[in-house]
């Protein structure tokens, strides 16, 4: 059994850990609310762009555009944008994304990786995979400006023929307790992904795009792609913070349970020590009385 001093040291250590896990829970909760608010503010703009693309595809037949080019018969070069976290302590968040990426990479010959997040970078570097690009410090601070920079990079690679297909692998927060890794196609775009729904209260009228539908798409499709990429970045960030919240909440509950158990052991050890001291005092007093009686008997004439 541990001594009182050892149990006290253990209790102090668990209390310090409890403070850290509770603080990390609160920090992740604050970051999650901020990211959700940021995504909600930008959502109407990107929804309007998506609706405009749907209108163009519906009203203009036979649009032949570079962003919708599947390049049949071309030897496909496939790139994967993998979004992981920069830090751990988030449960199975990073593991689930990396597992999905490896499953998809097994279906393609010579896949090219573009990594966002230190966890993915360290994992694939250790495995010796073909890493073509890294975007540092993006996972912990997803912004529209950073999404534009990354989006421009892949639009340029696609337009110049260095990549024929681009996919984004990220984590979607379905519910606060359920997070699923997902893969979405960034380029080329699929017309079926833009279903057209007639606007309520709008009259059926002829729409003309100036100077042409292709020129309009040249301007709005890059914005749509950057919005899609921004959404995946924020969704992954929210999933990471939510996973860390759940992990830290569980760790905090375990620390509290351990503190209760240690406090019980401490009280038992303290009670045992006090009982032992009282027993020693009583035993010493009895020995003293016996010695005094012997001395008294020896002193009698």
Average pLDDT value for the chain: 82
Query: What is the value of pTM for the model shown?
Result: 0.80
For the cut 60, the answer to whether the pLDDT of residue 204 exceeds it is: no
pLDDT in tens, 262-277: 888 888 888 888 887 7
Q: 210: which residues sit within 8 A by CB, 6+ positions away?
A: 216
Q: Which residue has the higher pLDDT, 156 or 50?
A: 156
Identify the pLDDT of residue 272. 82
CA-based nearest residue to 239, from 47, 32, 67, 63:
32
Q: And the tokens for 198?
A: 């007639």
Identify the pLDDT of residue 292. 47
pLDDT in tens, 233-258: 988 888 888 888 888 888 899 999 99
Share of the chain above pLDDT 70, in %: 87
CA-based nearest residue to 96, from 83, 111, 80, 109:
83
- Name the helix (H) or strand (E) containing 174: strand 165-175
Number of continuous H segments (helices) and E segments (strands) in the chain: 5, 5
| pLDDT, average across residues 33-39 | 81
Spatial distance between the Cα atoms of 83 and 88, rounded to a whole number of angstroms: 14
CATH of domain 27-197+206-252: 3.40.1380.10
- The domain spans of the chain are 27-197+206-252
Cβ(114)–Cβ(133) under 8 Å?
A: yes
Examine residue 188 and say whether the peptide bond preceding it is cis (omega within 30 degrees of 0). yes
pLDDT in tens, 154-192: 999 988 888 888 999 999 888 777 888 999 998 888 887
């Amino acid at each position: 059994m541990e001594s009182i001093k050892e149990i006290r040291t253990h209790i102090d250590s668990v209390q310090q850990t409890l403070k850290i896990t509770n603080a990390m829970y609160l920090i992740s909760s604050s970051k999650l609310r901020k990211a959700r608010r940021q995504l909600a503010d930008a959502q109407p703009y990107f929804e309007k762009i998506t609706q405009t693309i749907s209108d163009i595809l519906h009203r203009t037949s036979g649009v032949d555009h570079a962003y919708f080019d599947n390049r049949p018969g071309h030897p496909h070069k496939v790139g994967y944008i993998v979004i992981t976290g920069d830090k751990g302590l988030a449960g199975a968040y990073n593991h689930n994304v990396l597992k999905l990426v490896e499953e998809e990479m097994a279906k393609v010959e010579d896949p090219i990786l573009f990594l966002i997040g230190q966890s993915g970078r360290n994992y694939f570097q250790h495995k010796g995979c073909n890493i073509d690009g890294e975007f540092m410090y993006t996972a912990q601070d997803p912004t529209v400006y950073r999404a534009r920079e990354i989006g421009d990079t892949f639009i340029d690679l696609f337009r110049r023929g260095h990549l024929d297909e681009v996919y984004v692998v990220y984590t979607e927060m379905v519910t606060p307790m359920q997070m699923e890794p997902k893969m979405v196609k960034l380029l080329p775009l699929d017309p079926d992904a833009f279903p057209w729904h007639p606007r309520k209260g709008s009259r059926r009228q002829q729409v003309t795009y100036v100077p042409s539908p292709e020129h309009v798409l040249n301007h709005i499709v890059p914005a749509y792609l950057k919005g899609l990429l921004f959404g995946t970045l924020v969704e992954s960030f929210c999933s990471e913070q939510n996973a860390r919240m759940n992990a830290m909440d569980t760790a905090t509950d375990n620390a509290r349970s351990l503190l209760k158990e240690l406090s019980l052991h401490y009280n038992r050890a303290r009670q045992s020590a006090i009982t032992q001291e009282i027993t020693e005092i009583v035993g010493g007093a009895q020995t003293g009385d016996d010695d005094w009686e012997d001395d008294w008997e020896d002193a009698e004439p």
